[in-house]
Structure 1
Amino acid sequence: MSEHELCTGMSSEWFTPPEIFRALRLTFDLDPCQPNEGRAFLSVPCRRFLTAAEDGLTQPWEGLVWMNPPFGGRNGQVPWLRKFMRHGNGIALVAARTSASWFHDVAVEAETMLFPRGKTKFVRPDGSRGGSPGTGIVLLGMGATANNALWNSGLGLFVNNRRVVA
């Protein structure tokens, strides 16, 4: 689930397209950001979900996490990203706003990043595809399983962000 862009239509829910999950070839242990409604067209291969009503931000996380966080207002995804980085095992999808302070303060903590080719057309709660959003996305990887899946996905530009200190 994500408010990937500000809502300009009937819903602020934007679901990750299934082709991303096919390319990753993973089953996740937890998606802490599932919507309360419109879930018929969700394609997240996951064993356990937490809905917005269950507030995944306050619940414990275990295992390999898929996270497409609710963006909310300005910097709304930051608390989710901080928890994701502390958890250290999974893949997070966020807007590739590389000039934003939150990107430099939090997103760059990811071990790996994958910038998919082109604009990702998200799925609406009714199953239709959205148009081309105003910005691209980045998939942030933490942990060996997630990093290897991003590397092998063929989705786009893979960046190993692990810092080497001499």
Structure 2
Amino acid sequence: MKYYSIIPSELGEITIQASDKGVTGIWFETFTTKPEELGTRKDDHHVLVEASNQLNAYFAKERQKFDLPLDLKGTEFQKQVWQALTRIPYGETWSYKELAELINRPQAVRAVGTANGKNPISIVVPCHRVIGANGKLTGYAGGVERKEVLLRLEKGK
């Protein structure tokens, strides 16, 4: 069964979705899905409460790492990319090429980019820390403007 909660943030409302195993999704308000796919709203679900607390601490600059159970759904390749994303240090950015090299798939830069774009757990699995090889911000499901704000927050600006 899936549950969800919606919390306010400086970047707009954030929807957090979880199963009894862990967080399954974190999306900004621009994400659209059918309400029946979200599950049951349960603001007091233990995983959702902890995710909310950790996200609030992140936005308050009191947390740099997340310690949440994750229940990722995707292909093995996607999960490998998403796991690699969690290794990008707070306040740093990596290119898609660096990410592809980390998973020992240096020729799979585009596939890594596609998997990165399908990451269902924004912020906690920090796909916002991946930029183009030229140093420019590239697409972000939450919007490039939000990506820029998240990167500035992490760099203390």
TM-score, scaled to structure 2: 0.27
Q: Which has the larger share of strand?
A: 1
TM superposition score normalised by structure 1? 0.26
Higher helix share: 2
